[in-house]
Structure 1
Amino acid sequence: MKTVYLTLFVLGIFVLGLPVAVAADAEGITFQGIRLSDAEDLGTPIKTVAVTNGGYGLLSDGTPVTAFIAKGNPGMLFVFNTRTRDRLFSGPLPGEDDTSFSTIVASDGTVYVGGTAGGLFSWKAGGKTIEHLGTADRVIMCLQEGPDKRIYMGTFNTGRLFIYDPKSRKMEDKGSVVAGEQYARSIAFSGKDAYIGVGTRPHLIRWNPATDSRTEIELPPELRTEGTIIRGLTVAGNRLFGFGADSLIFVLDTGTDKVIKTIPDGLADGAIASPERDGKVYFARKGGKLWEYDLATDTFKESPGFKSTSYTRDFGWLDTGTGEPSLVTVSWGADIWAYNPKAQAYQGWKLDVEGQGVTIQAMEKGPDERLYMSGYPGSVGARYDTTAG
């Protein structure tokens, strides 16, 4: 079954501002449960590349890779060799998952994807297909490999925590992190404990998987704004970095569980800060600049030499062909950006990623009798000539 977009126009049905599901098969087209056997499939007018997150790491054979989902119907997993920029794999997510809020590369080289319809998926080096491992809550919001090599998931709509064990291939439901909250948005491990960011009322929870004990961390008033989700958690040394209200980055001492610093104007989708390297972590701020944080002195400064980042989609340290690790992130439009802080050297590449069909959000007939439409996500529009076809 495939999604059809332009059937609405042929039938003279206009739905403004709302996506409408139209499905086609060999016998015809169904619109809102009504069989329309004489409707015509006019194709997919709007395609765009929309990357919502990235995963970075080494495959089982040591190949450095960047993996991500391009939003579409269905969502497509892409895996690229970060050193050569060659595409190693691309394929659709099974089922109804059209994108992902979290993609990771585990320590054994397995790529895991958390879907927006609750599916957990995996791909391994040399694989020809994506495996569906099970279904968690309505949406998987974050994935994190624990020190026990299990995969931990935070979810929406009930803010639950799930654990997938690759050895037993079983998924365990640990229940809501905070009763009544919808989001378990981010997970980061410090030793054997995990920090979990929660919303829509902001909570930061320290959780011990062995005992299931949960301790709420007191947040300063500026991080307790109603409607805020604590997200983007990253642990580096004895510091936890996170993202809260009003684009505010916070730094917490994991020894005392006290917030020791806040930094305005954070900019991130996914983890707010990079993994630690040479005693520093890196993060983006508004204005497209990269900043470095010194873990020894708890000071930060702009990192020279890095060009505009827009929104970062997580970070990794990978060899891009220079023979040593660079800080790597992927953009919304599937560009890889790499930065070597020692050499202050910046590189960027456009990856070979096809645009995917997106949902039409708005459509209107113009004075020229042509049909004009726009879709989400992205800022691409299309025009259809009803006379020329």
Structure 2
Amino acid sequence: YEGDSVSETTLEITTTQKPVETTTPKTTEAPAETRLKPVKYDDMEPYIPTVEDKPIVTNLGNFTKTIYIRMNDGGYDKDGTPVLYFVADGNPKALFVIANAVTGEILREFELEHSTGAWEVFVHSSKDVYISGHGKPYFYVYNHEEDKIENIGTLPAGSSLGQVMCEGENGIVYSGSTDSLTYWGYDPNKNELFAMPQLIDNATRHMATVYDPIDKKLYVSVLSKDSKNLLFRVDPVTLEKTDITPAEYIDAKKYNFYDMDLYGDVLVIRYPSTAEMILYDIRKNELIGFQKENSDTLEKVIITNCRQPAADPEDSTKFYTVISGKLVLFDTVTRTYS
């Protein structure tokens, strides 16, 4: 090749397959005055497109950045495969994901049309899965029978996202809320979202809801704008409310009733920031302690880094959690753990 090249390479190949001979590339050094000098980032001048430019745009698909597993839930696929349900943040749309709980294989993904993420994922007794989206606060249901996502509507009561959900009488779903004066619910029989009455005048967050099927009462934790931590028992029919907040935990700067679950007569409450788990007897309206097996010490505060306990599938009065890296079984009848 002849021209303005600054290097050349010579190859000689014969039919007798002699070794290829090469010469070292010769380079011509550019004049000193034309060499590029290092430029500081701050001194760089950005390229400004002109109308003559013809950009090439390639659609790389949905951008997924974070997998939320705070409130994942478990269930079974139609063929009996144990699965986990969770949501991956995405832009422009979050993804609802179904994964094989044994192998970790992603089985299916569904876009959440109106949201870039989701906080709460809740498996209903119908096997349907309710999803509380944020970005745009929106409520969805994964229809288990038809294997599809259905859009229900914008979260009520001005809530920016839903928090811990529970299922009450007749399959009604109740949910905590954020940036809202009250919590809310959804009636799948009527396909209606609704706001519940306010529990206090200056609420900012309703962190969790729990339903007691024996007394048919709701338990709702509330955070006030002046950093008060409150716990209410609510009759969802008459809407009568009772403040049952333990006095030693009313200061929300020290503790929040953040995660709540009910096993037997014991409300299990946990605050992630301190990893402290406390236990409240809903029949006697008092905090209680548990004893470790073969110990005489009564523990009223238990440290666990496990966000959500898991019910014993054969006994609803027992639950599992993790303490110091070990799986531990709590018995709410004997008030012991092992």
TM-score, normalising length: structure 2:
0.69
What corresponds to 1:349 in structure 2? none
Contact persistence 1:156–1:183 (CA under 8 A): yes
Provide the rounded CA distance (Å) in 2 between the counterparts of 1:39 and 1:84. 40
Deviations 1:125-180 (A, max 9, x none): 36464211011121112222213201111111014221111111111111433321
Q: Larger deviation: 118-127 or 59-68? A: 59-68
Map 1:251-270 to 2 at 5 A: 251-261=279-289, 262-269=300-307
Provide the rounded CA distance (Å) in 2 between the counterparts of 1:135 and 1:227. 33
What corresponds to 2:217 in structure 1? 193
The one-letter amino acid of 2:137's match is G
1:274 maps to which of 310, 313, 322: 310
Is 1:290 the equivalent of 2:318? no
The one-letter amino acid of 1:198's match is V
Provide the rounded CA distance (Å) in 1 between the counterparts of 2:245 and 2:65. 45
Contact persistence 2:228–2:250 (CA under 8 A): no
Structure 2: 5+ residue stretches without partners: 1-43, 47-53, 290-299
What corresponds to 1:368 in structure 2? none
Q: Report the Cα offset of residue 80 of structure 1.
A: 2.8
Provide the rounded CA distance (Å) in 1 between the counterparts of 2:95 and 2:101. 18
Contact persistence 1:238–1:253 (CA under 8 A): yes
Q: How many residues align?
A: 265
What corresponds to 1:153 in structure 2? 175
Q: Report the Cα offset of residue 222 of structure 1.
A: 4.6
Contact persistence 2:68–2:88 (CA under 8 A): yes
Contact persistence 2:67–2:87 (CA under 8 A): no
Q: Larger deviation: 198-207 or 226-235? A: 226-235
Deviations 1:289-319 (A, max 9, x none): 3322122221223xxxxxxxxxxxxxxxxxx
Between 1 and 2, higher relative CO (CA 8 Å, sep ≥ 6) is seen in 1
Q: Larger deviation: 110-119 or 37-46? A: 37-46
Identity of aligned residues (%): 20
Map 1:1-389 to 2 at 5 A: 47-58=65-76, 63-73=81-91, 74-82=93-101, 87-95=106-114, 97-116=115-134, 117-125=136-144, 127=146, 129-136=148-155, 137-191=159-213, 192-199=216-223, 200-222=227-249, 224-226=251-253, 228-244=255-271, 246-261=274-289, 262-269=300-307, 271=308, 273-276=309-312, 277-278=314-315, 279-285=317-323, 287-301=324-338
Q: Report the Cα offset of residue 63 of structure 1.
A: 5.0
Match of 1:209, SS state, is: coil
Structure 1: 5+ residue stretches without partners: 1-9, 13-36, 302-389
Q: Report the Cα offset of residue 68 of structure 1.
A: 0.7
What corresponds to 1:370 in structure 2? none
TM-score, normalising length: structure 1:
0.60
CA RMSD, Structure 1 to Structure 2 (Å): 3.1
Pair member with larger Rg: 2
